[in-house]
Structure 1
Amino acid sequence: MEKTLIILKPDAFEKRKVGATLSRFEDAGFNIVAAKLLQLDSPMLKEHYAHIADKPFFPEIEAFMSSRPVLVVVIEGNSIIDRVRNLVGPTNSLVAAAGTIRGDWGTNMMLNIVHASDSPENAAAEIKRFFAEGEVFA
Structure 2
Amino acid sequence: MRISEEPLAGRRRLVLAAVAGFALGAGLIGVLWASATAVSDPTADAKAACAALDRAQPLPEGRVDRGSLNPAVLQHVMAADDLAAAAAELSATYHDLADHIDGVRRMVLSLNFADPNGRHHLAQAQAICGTI
TM range (shorter): under 0.3
Structure with larger Rg: 2
Which structure: greater helix fraction?
Answer: 2
> Larger RCO: Structure 1 or Structure 2 (Cα < 8 Å, ≥ 6 residues apart)?
1
Which structure: greater strand fraction?
Answer: 1
TM-score relative to the length of structure 2: 0.28
